[in-house]
Amino acid sequence: MRDNPSRFATGGAGGEPGKTATTNQKVPQMNPAKKLQIVALFALSLGITSLCSAQSDAPYTEGPVWLVTMIRTKPGMADDYLKSLAQTAKLTNDEAKKQGIIMDYKILLGDASDPHDHNILIMQEVKNFAAYDGIREKIDPIAKKLIGNQDQQRQLAIKRIEVREVLGTKRMREITLK
């Protein structure tokens, strides 16, 4: 049996079946806060859809992030500094890599291009910028175990001032050109 559309009509002045509603009846109004919620939800869903479907037109794809520290050793002190790194940074980075805190690390040695340039780069690789969140809480226990307490670490840092100068540190993203 098919439904009779007139059965669902609200009826006219006497509520008689088969008659349509008159214009005197009020249509229920939607709460303004509810309207705002619906509009906001609709806009958000459109935004998410466009983000998901949009592709970057950057000429590269993003890769891991590197913390790059530029060091200038004092004349004739590069080997002394590298020996110090072998006893501290190498051990700490090897353990951090083993625990999955960093992905890799590298130390590059080269000639300075001028008296103000670096001759050593110390680089640590992590998956992304978010990997730096809370990294100190993860690295400090390793350094304490392998190098010593904070006073011992501070004394080592003071000794290093005699052989090198830190010119700067940068976080840089590795990219692959398309």
Residue 7 scores a pLDDT above 50: no
Options 1.20.1050.10, 3.30.70.100, 3.20.20.70, 2.40.128.20; CATH for 60-177 is 3.30.70.100
Residue 51 scores a pLDDT above 70: no
DSSP sequence for 72-95: EEPTT-HHHHHHHHHHTHHHHHHH
**First CA to last CA distance, the chain:** 64
Q: Kindly list the domain boundaries of the chain, sorted by start residue.
A: 60-177
Q: Which segment of 5-9, 89-93, 169-173, 174-178 scores lowest on mean pLDDT? A: 5-9
| CA neighbor of 87 nearest in space, from 158, 162, 11, 143 | 143
Residue 38 scores a pLDDT above 80: no
